[in-house]
Every structure is written in structure tokens, then in C-alpha cells.
Amino acid sequence: MTLQTTTYLIVGFTFAIYIGIAIWARAGTTKDFYVAGGGVNPIANGMATAADWMSAASFISMAGLIAFMGYGGSVFLMGWTGGYVLLAMLLAPYLRKFGKFTVPEFIGDRYYSKAARIVAVICLIVASVTYVIGQMKGIGVAFSRFLEVDYDVGLVIGMGIVFVYAVMGGMKGITYTQIAQYCVLILAYTIPAIFISLNLTGNPIPQLGLGSTMAGTDVFLLDRLDMVLRDLGFLEYTTNVRLSTTNMFMYTLSLMIGTAGLPHVIIRFFTVPKVKDARSSAGWALVFIAILYTTAPSVAAMARLNLIETIEPAPGEYMVYEERPNWIKNWEATGLLAFEDKNGDGRIQYSADAATNEMVTVDRDIMVLANPEIAGLPNWVIALVAAGGLAAALSTAAGLLLAISSAISHDLLKGVFKPEITEQQELLASRVAMAGAILLAGYLGFNPPDFAAGTVALAFGLAASSIFPALMLGIFYKRMNKEGAIAGMVAGLGVTLLYVFQHKGIMFIQSTSYLGDMSENWFFGIEPNAFGAVGAMVNFAVAFAVSRVTAAPPQEIIDLVEHIRVPSGAGAASSH
């Protein structure tokens, strides 16, 4: 069977499962639509959260980035997992106790202010929309590479699938589909990793293989990688710091706080039956995430080593270009991998020196997708990786679209502009909002703005600098009032936007960058992607200062905070 037939079969089979689940789990009430009826088992919710959280970025991009950053890539590993500790201890149980449907709803009630609610809706929509563009692009790319259809056709198929199960099933359909998608994506990630670890080290567990010796030798894999890279003129893999220690510290902190503040992750904890379940569910989510995140460093290091050994099979013996393997030809066709025989010897030299390096383009995003081909694994494994990448992108897109549509239908329409609509009307409105959000995401996927890649930093920066501090202060600081919270959100957001835009251009248009992307102008050497943590600190400081000089919140708010701090007396999530 050819690779393409196998891919069609495996991807088609997984899509049939998603649609089947959607029909089985239709949403009948707003409660089904927003919080899946509030009765999701904590382990199942953990699995759905893991799929929701792990996007095309985790599945496709992360290991490739680490492969080329080495130790510096640790910021992603720690940052995108450590946020769950903050979520489990500082937010999830209390927001679950509060028992409403959306994040802006909590902010609006806690700060007794529609203005605060609207500010939160804006932060949520901007963060989620920027994030969803990346997912739609991932879907289009994965389809066009593996099903050999046009990017546009791939995108339309992806939109159609999300439309069916997200609009029909709401949170209920999304939750059960995400559980299936988690299973697909984790198998697709770990199976090739097991094969490759076995090939290179003889140890089938990738987490152990990375610390083992190369098969048949007594040289440790990481030592070998360090040595090979040193010889080519690169920095050592295991000690390659990302810019500076301060920068790595702030980058990790930004990703952690951003993770804990991303609304599509937070709303997942509204779906479990009890406060107790919200705590353990965060733990289960992290277990399921950790399976991928502890495998990723092995995938990264082994892919880098395999790539180098394909180009330079023996010291000084470089690959003859005409004899290159098929996977290289396939990726050259996409333009994501390119060679240039600068010295005309018909061989490909790879080195850290830009003047003599002949592997001129290696897109980081191809590493995970090409990995099974580089290692010469069977077709069904390659097809499974395609299905896994699609599962990761689809599950995150659906979760984000739900967060966007509930902010529009529940917070803006029902909460602010038309409080008198009935539940059936609200349910209809949320479906229309969802369909609109899919069309918008699809449109942005067809015409991806140049800044799509840069906006991930903005999504995390927004969540870290605006949403997280407002939520945390709302729970842990009774004296926090609406003036402080609003001033904090605006200041945190403003400072983060200003910093990102001044170095990367307004709306990421390079020419409008008034300070330039120059590292000598960076505040304490912190790169723009890592600035969310500074924004969050500004938010905390401003919120605290303003709240001290303005009126204390009313007694009923103090009582509300007392109420959410203890688990007893929690009902299921409701809108009343």
C-alpha cells in the first residue's frame, strides 16, 4: 500500500470517529454547550484538557525548536507544564466553586463592573483569535503535505470537521472528541519516538534512551551529540543558553503565567462536578501532557543527531547530493528544506559557518513530521504522525473557538447587551457565534497575516499580563477593587503591547518598529516573547497601588470571595 493510501485510510478513520462522537454528544442546553453539562469525570477532563492545550505548536513545532536550541529550548518544556501548578493551586478550584460559565463572567462579578467584564472579553478574544490563526495554518499545511491536496482544500476540510462537532456539540461534543484526539495524538507522538530510541540506543523508553549510550558503544548519546555539534562549529547541545540566564528565567515565567491565564484552558475546569475534582483534574491534565513533554526532548536530540548523520555519515564524509534520500526530495519540494552546493563538489557540507554551510534552509517545523522518514520507519507510522498533527491542531482550534463564541454569546450578548434573551435564543446565538468564529479563523487561515508566527508571543503576553493577575488578585486579595483591577489589566496589557510592538513593529509590520528588533535595546536583555512576565508584574503593582487609594469593594463582594475560598456549598456550574 502506498504512503498516500495509508494516510487517507488512517486520517479518514480518525475523522469518522470524531464525527460519530459529535452525533452522539449533541448539546441540548446552554449548560451542555458551555460546560458539557458539568458532569465530566476528572480523568476524562484531564485528557480533554491535554488535547485542548497541546496544539500544533506542541506537536509539530516544539521538538524541532528544541532540536536546534538544545538546552535553551527548556523554556518551552518548563514553561508550558509549570503553568498547571499555578492553575491547580491558584485558580482552578476557586473558579470552579464560583460556578459560572466563562472567565469574563468571573471578572465582571468579582469586580462588580461591566467595564471590567468587557475589558476581559477583549483580552480573551484577541488572545484566542491570534492563537487560532496558527492552528488553522497548521491544519492547512498538514493536509497539503500528507494528502497532497491544495493548502486551501485542506483548510476547508479542516473547517468543515470543526464546524460539525463544535457547533453541534458545543463543549460536550468538544470534550468527548478531544479525548479521542488525545489518544490519536499521543500514539502518533510516542510510537515513532520509541522506534527511534530503540534504533539509536537499544532502549525503548525515549525518556531513558536520551540518557543512555549509543547502541553498541559506550558513548552517551548526549555526549556524542555535543561532540558532533562542536566539530561542526555549533555550541554544545546540553549547555546552549538562550541569550542569557535572565532571559531564560523571564521566558519560562511568561509561558507559565500565560498558560495559567489562557481562557480556553481555564474553562475546561468548569466542566467537572466538584471543587475537589478541579484540583485533581489539573494533575491528570499534566500527566497526559507530561507524556508528550518528556518525550519531546528525546525526539529533539535524536532528530538532530539523525539529521546530522544523514548529511555527514562519517567524519569528513559528506552526503552526495545526487544520492540524497527520498524524504529530502519530498521536503525540498515544499521549500522548507533547501541546499546550495556552494563549493561545487556535489556534496552537502553542514557547518555553523554561514559562508560554507550548504544546508541553507531547515524549517524547524519539519523535524517532527520528517522524523519517522529520516529514521526509515514504516508507512503506517508516517501516516499516524499526520493524523496526530491534525488531531492536535483540530482539538485546540475547537477549544479556542468555544472560548470565543461563549465570550460573545454569554458575556457580550446575554451579559451586557440583551440580558432578556431566553436560553434557547442564547444557545442559538452561541452556535451562530461559533460558526462566525470558524469563518473568521478560516478567512485568516486563507490569508495568514505576516505576523502569524509572532502573535503567539502576543497571545501568551496578553493572557499573562492581563487575565492571570486579575483572576489571582480576585481570589487571594479581598481588598482588590474594580478600579485596581481595571487599571492593572490596562497597564499590564499596555506595557506588554508597547514592548512587543516597539521591537517587532506595530501589528508586527517591521518598518513601524521604532526601536528596531535590536537586542541592545531590550529591557535587561529580555526578548519580546518573554515580556509577558514583566507585564504581569506591572499589572500586579499598578492594581495594588490603585486599590490602596480608592474605595474598598462592597461587603457583598467580600462575602463572595469568602464563599469561593471554601469548597462546601458548590453547585454545578450555572448561569444563575
Partner 1 sequence: MSKNSSYWSANLRLVAICLVIWFVVSYLFGIILVEPLNNIRIGGYKLGFWFAQQGSIYTFVALIFFYANRMGKLDRKHDVHEDDE
- Residues near partner 1 (CB under 8 A) are 66, 71, 73-74, 77-78, 81-82, 84-85, 88-90, 93, 207-208, 210-213, 220-223, 238-239, 245, 248-249, 252-253, 274-276, 279-280, 282-283, 286-287, 290, 293-294, 297, 562, 565-570
Enclosing H/E stretch for 362: strand 359-362
If one counts every other C-beta atom within 10 angstroms of the C-beta of residue 402, the result is: 30
Q: Which is nearer to partner 1, 5 or 217 (CB)?
A: 217
Backbone φ and ψ for 220, nearest 5 degrees, come out as -70, 145
Shortest separation between residue 245's beta carbon and partner 1, angstroms: 6
Rounded least distance, CB 355 to partner 1, Å: 31
Return d(Cα 95, Cα 260) in angstroms, integer. 12
83 vs 134, which CB is nearer to partner 1? 83
Distance CA 408, CA 168 (A): 17
| Least distance CB 203 / partner 1 (angstroms) | 10
Specify the residue, 252 or 409, whose C-beta has the smaller distance to partner 1: 252
| Beta carbon nearer to partner 1, 287 or 545 | 287
Q: How near is the Cβ of 359 to partner 1 at its closest, in Å?
A: 25
Closer by beta carbon to partner 1, 6 or else 45: 45
* Residue 398: Cβ within 10 Å count: 33
Residue 72: DSSP 8-state: G
CB of 254 vs partner 1, minimal distance in Å: 13
CB of 392 to partner 1, least distance (A): 18
Find the shortest distance in angstroms from Cβ 517 to partner 1.
24
* Residues whose CB falls within 8 Å of the CB of residue 167, separated by 6 or more in sequence, listed in order: 431, 434, 435, 438
CA distances for 451 relative to 200, 397, 458, angstroms: 38, 18, 10
In this complex, which beta carbon is closest to partner 1, that of residue 373 or of residue 527? Answer: 527
Asked if 378 and 7 count as a contact pair (C-beta separation under 8 A), the reply is: no
Cell 549547555: give the residue: 239
- Nearer to partner 1 by Cβ, of 408 and 526: the residue is 526
Which residue do the cell numbers 432578556 mark? 420
Of 315 and 569, nearer to partner 1 (C-beta) is 569
Residue closer to partner 1 by CB (options 509, 566) is: 566
Query: Which residues lie closer than 8 Å to 249 by C-beta, 6 or more apart?
Result: none
Smallest gap from Cβ 568 to partner 1, in A, equals: 5
Contacts of 571 (CB under 8 A, 6+ apart): 99
Residue 171 in contact with residue 158, Cβ under 8 Å?
Answer: no
**CB of residue 92 to partner 1, shortest distance in Å:** 10
* 135/247 with CB nearer partner 1: 247
Residue 185, CB-side half-sphere exposure with 13 Å CA sphere: 32
Which alpha helices (H) appear in 25-150, and where do they start and end?
A: 30-35, 42-53, 56, 63-69, 74-86, 92-98, 103-110, 114-146
Nearest Cα neighbor of 456 from 73, 61, 152, 175 is 61
Specify the residue, 64 or 73, whose C-beta has the smaller distance to partner 1. 73
- 199: buried, middle or exposed (CB in 10 Å: 19+, 13-18, 0-12)? middle
User: CA 532, CA 79: separation in Å to the nearest integer?
Assistant: 12
Name the maximum alpha-carbon separation found in the chain. 80
CA distance 365 to 230: 24
